[in-house]
A and B are shown apart, each in its own frame.
Chain A
């Protein structure tokens, strides 16, 4: 890769302090540093509880690290997700960084098609085009058409997962964070999602992923990053 990094993680540290549990300290990681460039897919590895999701959520500013920097190239400059103002973080999330969580957390009561089309609408794409692209993507992910007009609250885990993926892949984010994107999917759907991820990567998206499934990991990863090496001392 000749591209300059778009994501730079520097000396990141995170410890949870549980005040409701008598102030017990849960050190997760310390001194985490790595970079990701456009077209790269870094897969975080390590056993359960080693802090992969905590790191990924920190990158998205859903968790707040105690020290270090997460620098994201955004709108022609750098934003540090650790210190940025909420509105700057939201701008990064709107334009630069997408996130696919293990669980769907979207607005209740909004129909599936609308949820998927919304990122395009927010970008100013016309409703007709946004919905057409949303339909095409949902079809590709084999989500039954009868579900498109229904809010996903009652969907199965795999169905929700695909809505989530559709919403994140409907537009090209410069950076994508994926937490177990294929976890609850069957073989056919898993292959579709892997294809989507590879397409995005080849189109220049920088990806950080958590993925326990070895074949999927091997298909998408350009490098592995072992979180256990940075486990913080308790």
Chain B
């Protein structure tokens, strides 16, 4: 067991905000290739702070985060030069933002949005780029004839699916998702979840999914971390944490959901 190396490791990750407010404190874990980690907790518990640190958007105050790069193995992401880190962010990594506005270019066509990462790594054949964009639109269930439309004319669910296509086209190994189904109607959420689940499994993607929706992690995540006041209070196999919660806070979280 455990022959493969972790893809991402967090070691004592702590983020203090000015004034000493705790964003997150002493978070450690290993994420393995193909593994989906869910992070749950109420709003303000530090989920997004942690995600921002993990995805290199924010440097932690203490602790380290390493990613298993294709060229040099496990590497501290904040020891990488900025261009190396930015390259990682648009090739091996992808971020699905809660607000599609943060993850899409609203004034650029769907095809251009999907093609951008290809062009960023040097694709210079229009026909090939377009074909690949079409393939990905199909895979995320966006009709081919919408390829030249701008995402601002898309529904919320379509925008989220376009974000996903835009990321997956570069064949990433790790995807960060911040409330991927937030702000969507229940039926649209369900369809998006099905799609995500299928893609994550079929592509063998590793993912870190932040959400306050336990149904989302139940469906997507292999394992779970429960956060409260910036700290991880419980973690483990997803169904174990949800069905046999040990920490008082987790029990409250799970029972609160059951009662709704």
Contacts and interface: CB of A to CB of B under 8 A. Distances in A.
A–B contact at 8 Å CB threshold (below)? yes
Contacts of B244: 16, 57, 62-64
A57 B243 contact: yes
A109 interface: yes
A214 interface: no
B222 A86 contact: yes
A157 B54 CA distance: 44
Contact of A86 (B194, B223, B247): B223
Interface stretch (B15-23, B97-105, B166-174, B234-242): B234-242
Contacts of A89: 237
Contacts of B248: 19-20
Nearest to B247: A19
B35 A87 contact: yes
B1 A63 contact: no
Contact of A77 (B1, B194, B219, B247): B1
A110 interface: yes
Contact of B222 (A16, A61, A87, A108): A87
Contacts of B86: none
Given A20-B248, A79-B1, A108 B190 contact: yes
A187 to B, nearest CB: 32
A229 to B, nearest CB: 23
A198 B132 CA distance: 51
Given A62-B239, A86-B236, A110-B194, A20 B251 contact: yes
Interface residues of A, number: 25
Contacts of A1: none
B85 interface: no
Interface size class of B (residues with CB under 8 A): 20 to 34
Contacts of A87: 32, 35, 222-223
Given A86-B222, A86-B223, A87-B35, A61 B251 contact: no
A77 B255 CA distance: 38
A155 to B, nearest CB: 18
B251 A62 contact: no
Contacts of A61: 237, 240
A63 B245 CA distance: 9
Interface in A191-216: none
A63 B243 contact: yes
B200 to A, nearest CB: 12
A108 B216 CA distance: 12
Contacts of B237: 61, 86, 89-90
Contact of B2 (A20, A88, A108, A110): A88
A62 B240 contact: yes
A89 B241 CA distance: 13
B255 A20 contact: yes
Contacts of B238: 86
Interface string A88-117: 111100000000000000011110000000
Contacts of B191: 109
Nearest to A66: B246
A126 interface: no
Contacts of B90: none
A18 B247 CA distance: 9
Contacts of A110: 194
A108 B186 CA distance: 13
A29 B100 CA distance: 50
Contacts of A79: 1
Given A88-B2, A90-B222, A107 B194 contact: yes
A234 interface: no
Contacts of B119: none
A17 interface: yes
A18 B252 CA distance: 10
A87 B222 CA distance: 7
B246 A64 contact: yes
Between A18, A61, A86, A107, the greatest number of chain B beta carbons within 10 A of the residue's beta carbon is seen for A86
Contacts of B146: none
9 contacts: A20-B248, A57-B244, A62-B244, A84-B1, A86-B35, A86-B238, A88-B2, A90-B222, A107-B219
Interface of A: 16-20, 57, 61-64, 75, 77, 79, 84-91, 107-110
Given A19-B252, A109-B191, 13 more contacts: A16-B244, A17-B246, A20-B252, A62-B239, A63-B243, A75-B1, A84-B1, A86-B222, A87-B222, A88-B2, A89-B237, A90-B237, A108-B190
Interchain residue pairs A-B with the least CB separation, the first 7: A19-B248, A86-B223, A63-B244, A86-B237, A19-B251, A88-B1, A20-B251
